[in-house]
Amino acid sequence: MVRRILTLVGLLCLSGPTFAATVNTFVDTPLPEFVKNPGGRLHARCWVDRGATTPDFLRVKVTNPNGVVVYQRDLPGAVEYNLYWTVPSGSPDGIYHYEASYYSVENGLEDDGIDGFLVAGSTRGICAFKFIDLNGNGTRDPGEPLASGWEICFHYPDGSVRCETTGEDGAACIFFLPSGNYTVCETMQDGYINTLPICSDVVVTTSIASVLFGNRAYVPGACCLPGGACEELERADCDAANGDYQGDHTTCAETQCVRPGACCLPGGACEELLQTECETAGGAYQGDGTLCADAQCPRPGACCLPDGSCNVVSATACERLGGIYHGDGTNCEEVDCNPVPTIESTWGRLKSRYR
C-alpha cells in the first residue's frame, strides 16, 4: 500500500504584513517511489489553513523537469482541490513539481505549497532524495521537509565519481547512465546524524533508480555521569548512561558536576562516594574529589556501651551511642567494660546496702 506524504510549506513575506494562511500539499506517491512514464496517474491534493481573509482564487499547477508548466488551473474562491493527472506520452523523465498558491481578496498571494514527485520511464538514471527526519525514525513522515544544499556523490562502476547538490525539491539526479552497479553516498554536514545509511548500492537497468537519505539534528548537552565525570551527549544517551542531563547545548566546560570523594565509613574502611551516599552510610565525608589513597580515616577502637557490652566502632560512632571510647586500634579483649551507673541502678544499690 502506497504511504501518503504530507508536506507543509509556509512562506513568510520578507516585506509587508504577515499572513496567517498556510498552503498544504499532499502527493499520493511518496518519494523515492515514482509515477510511471507514460500513462502513470498522479493523485495530489491541496488545502488552505487560512485566517480571516476572503479567498480570491487557488492556483494549482504541475511543472516538468525542464521548468515547463504541463498543468495549471485557477479555481475562483477555492480553498482546496483534488488533482488527478495522467503523465502524457512524450513527457521527460525526472523530478516534477506539484505547486499550489493561495490568493486572497485583501492581500493577493499569501502562501505557496510545493512538493516533488518522480516520473520514470525508459531513461536510465539515479535520483537521490534528501529530507530532514525530524523524529529520527528513518521514514519521511508528514511535515518532514525536503532538504536543499546537501552534496550527493554518485560512484560509477568504473570507479569514477560525480557529485551533485540537492535543490529545493531535495533531489539530486543524473541521467542517461549505462547499466550497472552504482553506489550513492551523501556528504554529512556538521550538526546532523544520519537516520538512513550514508551510502546505498543502486542497480541501474532500464529505468530511473532512486534512493532516500534522511538526517536529524544532533543536539548534545553536558551529561554528569554517575562517577562525577562530564561528557557531552544527547539526552537519550545521557539517560541510558544514568547521567544527569544539564540541557540542550550546554557544555562540560561550563558545568560543575558533583564528584565523589573519600568517605571514612563507621568501620574504619574508606570508600569513594558522593557526599549524600557517604552521609547515608554514616560516614565522614572528606570532600569532593578526595581519594581514599590520600585520606587518613581513623581506625575503629573498643567502645564500652552503657549496658556494659563492647563494640569496635569509630570514636564518633561511640560518642553517638553514649559509650566510652578506648582509642583507635584498641579491641574489646583489651578493655574491661562495666555498665555505666544510672540513677536507678545507684538507688538500687543503696537500698540493698541499708536493708
**Residue 261 forms beta bridges with which residues?**
273
Quote the cell numbers at residue 281. 552510610
CB within 8 A of 349, min separation 6: which ones? none
pTM of the model: 0.57
One digit per residue, pLDDT tens: the chain, 355 residues? Answer: 333 333 323 322 233 444 568 888 777 766 667 888 889 898 888 889 887 889 999 999 999 999 999 999 999 999 999 999 999 999 998 889 999 999 999 999 999 988 888 888 888 899 999 999 999 999 888 778 889 999 999 999 999 999 999 988 888 999 889 999 999 999 999 999 999 999 999 999 888 888 999 999 999 999 999 878 899 999 999 999 999 999 999 999 999 888 888 998 877 788 888 888 898 988 889 988 888 888 888 778 889 999 889 988 878 778 888 899 888 888 898 888 887 565 555 555 545 555 5
Cβ-based neighbours of 216, under 8 Å, separated by 6 or more: 132, 133, 134, 135, 136, 192, 193, 195
* Residue-range domains of the chain with CATH: 1-121 (2.60.40.10), 220-254 (no CATH), 260-297 (no CATH), 299-339 (no CATH)
The owner of cell 488552505 is 48
* Rounded distance between C-alpha atoms, residue 186 and residue 333, angstroms: 77
Structure confidence at residue 342 (pLDDT): 59
pLDDT at 260: 86
Cell of 297: 580515616
Grid coordinates belonging to 256:
560543575
